Amino acid sequence: MKNILNAPFVTEMRNTCANMYRLGWDERNGGNISYMLEENEVAEYLDINSSIREIPLGFDATALIGKIFIVTGTGKYFKNVHDDPETNLGIIRIAEDGKTARLLWGYRDGGRFTSELPAHLMSHIARLSVDPENRVVMHSHPTHTLAMNYVHELDEKKFTHTLWEMCTECIVVFPDGVGVLPWMLCGTNEIGEATAEKMKEFRLVLWGMHGIYGAGKTMDETFGLIETVEKAAQIYMLTAHLPRVNTIKDEEMVRLAEFFGVKYRRDFLNL
């Protein structure tokens, strides 16, 4: 079999984690990523029918039985993923009981997947029901997005509208807007269920005073969604205390969305 360290999906995880740490989105062990893989691509590198050990999931993931994911580990620092992927990442397959993960590779030091995995898997289930090509769920703590939580009303329409006003590309990149949750205890099934419910409607979900969840078809798309929100939030934080002289008008946002042919949340505009 081929060397797993050369697998494109391992390379993507290594580089993405390094970029997120470099940008300051994932301090210490903050943040996590899960990436659903195709059986045939994994089978080139691993025996997908054997496992190192089994790890309880903590919830019923029957809808994902047989699915394979590469997932960041609990307590692992994003800055270490690139140089030591086998310790900081793991490849798991959802077992036939739907409540157990079979470890195919990784977590070399005896570790396990992120404590947020139930929230990730619930979000995967929700996104797959909307778009069967969605494969990535990403959670991070982008600095300006988080700062904006403390000075802006946490209302989905108002928060989205403000972000759309900050950069011309925003309504094109995330025309479905940003879902918003209040502060909730992380690492619980409760926050996972709330996030998954939002994921049926949004690809981006803000966790109040905590961070953001993004979902997409590819690592680049998902990273780009969060990156665009963070850029818009940065511009907002740089200008919120200053007199507003210019802005992107709602009528101009409509022109943008219609020119690029995206389905946008018209109810989030003030028309």
The tokens describing 124, both together, are 């995967």
Residue 16 CB neighbour total at 10 angstroms: 22
Judge contact between 90 and 100, C-beta under 8 A: no
Which neighbouring-strand residues pair with 94?
101
162: Cβ contacts below 8 Å, ≥ 6 apart: 152, 236
At residue 97's C-alpha, the angle toward residues 43 and 104, to 5°, is: 30
Backbone angles phi, psi at 265, to 5 degrees: -80, 90
At residue 95's C-alpha, the angle toward residues 91 and 99, to 5°, is: 105
Name the strands in the sheet holding 204-207, side by side, starting at the edge strand that comes first in the sequence.
53-56, 100-106, 89-94, 68-72, 32-37, 136-140, 211-216, 204-207, 179-181
The set of catalytic residues is 116
Judge contact between 33 and 17, C-beta under 8 A: yes
